[in-house]
Amino acid sequence: MKILITGATGRIGSRLAKRLAQRGDQVRALVRDRTRAADPGDAGIELVQGDLLDAESLAAAVRGVEAVVHCAAFRGATAEQEHAINGLGTQHLASAARAAFVKRFLFMSAGVVYGSTGGRLAGEDDPCAPIDAYAVNKLAAERFLLALEGLDARVLRLPFVYGDGDPHIAEAVPMTRAFPPTQRLSIAHHADVAQAVARLLAAPSPAHRIYNVVDDEAPTLAALFASVSEPPPDGSDAERARTIDALLDGRRIRADVGFTPAFPRLADAIAAGAA
């Protein structure tokens, strides 16, 4: 399959692009500046220049591809900047894909769109109550895609993603140091995200559907901290911890396309040297 990936220099997109290329897909990566993009080297990844905020630049990027996997996202800036990339950028890309008769569009959303679930597993049909601007814009982009006629759009709601040499767990420690040590966090290994993408690219139906992509175990923050040799968080700011207090129910993707995590638990990835 010939696939366009956005965000191919990011945490998720870079690993996903390589995995898809390694399995034999023709992967094209959207970059804003060819001269500043990393050399794809032996990965066999084609670079195409374009900008999500420049709708006209996206026509060439989507020309001739069978699927788009939209990983690009922006978090941590102003609400206006996040809306531009996560909201308008998604609309521009989807419209270009539909005009080019792209067969399938996968959107990487986030489990934080549910808001705080208070320890309850959230299913894809449950109501969403996003807390911050990033989650609000992700949910708005989902709704735009699922309402867009003429495009087979599928949404993947991702939890905390780790593994494959990604320092995500260690980087999260300073930001969650004040969270409750017993708070659980839904997680997914990069290998399992890639597996979910591959299965949804291949599945002929159903279109316009949302999938939680999650491993079997939701470890406590104390366990995550311990995996990078850090003492447990101190629990001094339980209110702020609500921004990541969403546990995901992963039964739908297992039933629809036969997804089974390669690393069901954090301990499995650690034992395999893949954490």
pLDDT tens digit string along 239-251? 999 989 999 999 9
By three-state DSSP, how is residue 25 classified? coil
By three-state DSSP, how is residue 30 classified? strand
Q: Is residue 128 part of a domain?
A: yes
Q: Is residue 238 part of a domain?
A: no
Report residue 118 CA to chain centroid gap. 22
Q: For residue 46, what are the domain limits?
A: 2-167+187-217+248-264
Q: Is residue 178 part of a domain?
A: no
Q: Is residue 103 part of a domain?
A: yes
pLDDT (tens digit per residue) in 162-206: 999 999 999 999 999 999 999 999 999 999 999 999 999 999 988
Reply yes or no on whether 134 is catalytic.
yes
What residues contact residue 174 under an 8 Å CB cut-off, 6+ apart?
A: none
* pLDDT in the model for residue 82: 75
Q: Is residue 91 part of a domain?
A: yes
Taking each helix axis from N to C terminus, what angle separates 133-147 and 89-99, rounded to the nearest 10 degrees?
20
Q: For residue 145, give both structure tokens.
A: 């895609």
pLDDT-based confidence at residue 120 (cuts at 50, 70, 90): very high
pLDDT (tens digit per residue) in 144-160: 999 999 999 999 999 99
pLDDT (tens digit per residue) in 28-72: 999 987 665 555 444 789 999 999 999 999 999 999 999 999 999
By three-state DSSP, how is residue 235 classified? coil
Q: Is residue 199 part of a domain?
A: yes
Task: Give the chain's domain count.
Answer: 1
- Vertex 87 angle, CA 84 and 89, to 5°: 65
* pLDDT in the model for residue 84: 77
Q: For residue 128, give both structure tokens.
A: 């969403």
Mean pLDDT computed over 86-101 = 94
Q: Is residue 272 part of a domain?
A: no
* pLDDT in the model for residue 36: 55
Residue 60 sits at φ, ψ, to 5 deg, of -70, -35
* pLDDT in the model for residue 37: 58
What residues contact residue 239 under an 8 Å CB cut-off, 6+ apart?
A: none
Q: Is residue 236 part of a domain?
A: no
pLDDT-based confidence at residue 74 (cuts at 50, 70, 90): confident
CATH code for the domain of 115: 3.40.50.720
Q: For residue 256, give both structure tokens.
A: 């629809």
